[in-house]
Amino acid sequence: MATPVKEEDLLVPTSIHWTIEDVTNWIEEIGFPQYRECFRTNLVNGRKLILADASHLPQLGVTNFEHIKFISASVRDLLGLEAPYWNRSVSLPPRTPMGMFLERKSRTGEYIDGLLYSQHLKGK
């Protein structure tokens, strides 16, 4: 019998399960077909897309600053993450629980592959 899916696990963006082809299709859909090969060559799948922020995009081959800003914002929108603000108070928690979970899911390995958001929330 299958384990029932918990409600909080349904909050996880489905894009973390994307293949490399899904990611390259998405980058084209948002208006950047010239970067398909950059994402394909760097084997960016849905879990690696989590790490595609302004500091990592140049390493993938995206060097136009306006493109970097747009793609970074699009990744955050896709994942439902808030934009990092330079004036964020240090009294606030460092990241949202979902942001911390997605960061963990960007890694590989048997444990991480099976990790659910509900388990992450319980501190496992």
Would 91 be classed as within a structural domain?
yes
Which CATH number does the domain housing residue 49 bear? 1.10.150.50
Would 2 be classed as within a structural domain?
no
**Contact of 50 with 79, CB cutoff 8 Å:** yes
Would 83 be classed as within a structural domain?
yes
Residue 105's pLDDT is 85
Residues 31-74 pLDDT 10s: 999 999 999 999 999 999 998 988 999 999 999 999 999 999 99
Cα–Cα nearest to 116, from 18, 31, 30, 5: 5
Report the number of distinct structural domains present in the chain. 1
Would 116 be classed as within a structural domain?
yes
Would 1 be classed as within a structural domain?
no
83 CB neighbour count, 10 Å cutoff: 9
**Which residue segment(s) compose the domain that 49 sits in?**
7-121
Residues 71-106 pLDDT 10s: 999 999 999 887 666 666 656 555 678 888 888 888
The pTM score is: 0.78
